[in-house]
Amino acid sequence: MLIRQASVADAEGIAIVHVDCWRTTYKEIMPSDFLDNLSYEKRKDIWIKNINRDGNYVYVAENNEGKIVGFIDGGKRDTNQVENSGDLTAIYILENFQRMGIGKKLIKELFLKFEALGFKTIFVEVLEDNKSRFFYEAFGAELLKTEKIKMAGAELNLLVYEWKDISQVLL
């Protein structure tokens, strides 16, 4: 498994992982018509912008055949006013490649970048019904707050976690 920084050429592979993961991760959480209408092409355009955006960092996980099977994205959200902090904004791994340590490798790579940038606190937002919140908790993230949001016509609970000390993730 290769973990590396993403390039614009990876946007299509990232988009496929993103859409496929939303369809599996959120199938019991989000309306099915919303998930059915997700588009690889629209996501590809979004990922081209994300990869090119200053202050945004995207890393991919490639399998031995060179296929992207996961990715992580982070930086500092415009809404984040906390000094020396950043945000993990997305991490997705195809269902068949989960529980193989890829998530740990991806998060470590992003957090190494955050450490180099001087970020001390990292935030991540996750839907309450998304089981990946347990992944964040296992790596030491602590629940900061819960808020209600509307997404795709559904009312959902958004959990905001924070790492006050990323050193444990970097071990």
> Domain holding 59: CATH number?
3.40.630.30
Could you tell me the residue range of the domain that residue 57 belongs to? 2-168
The DSSP output letter for 128 is T
Low-confidence ranges of the chain (pLDDT < 50): none
φ, ψ of residue 93 to 5 degrees: the values are -135, 130
CB-based contact 51:8 (threshold 8 Å): yes
User: Hey, what are 90's tokens?
Assistant: 């997305």
Q: How many domains are there within the chain?
A: 1
Largest CA-CA distance found in the chain, in angstroms, rounded: 42
Task: Evaluate whether 38 touches 88 at the Cβ level (below 8 Å).
Answer: no
- The whole-number pLDDT of residue 168 equals 79
Choose among 43, 51, 2: nearest CA to 20: 43
Q: Note the pLDDT of residue 34.
A: 92
pTM: 0.94
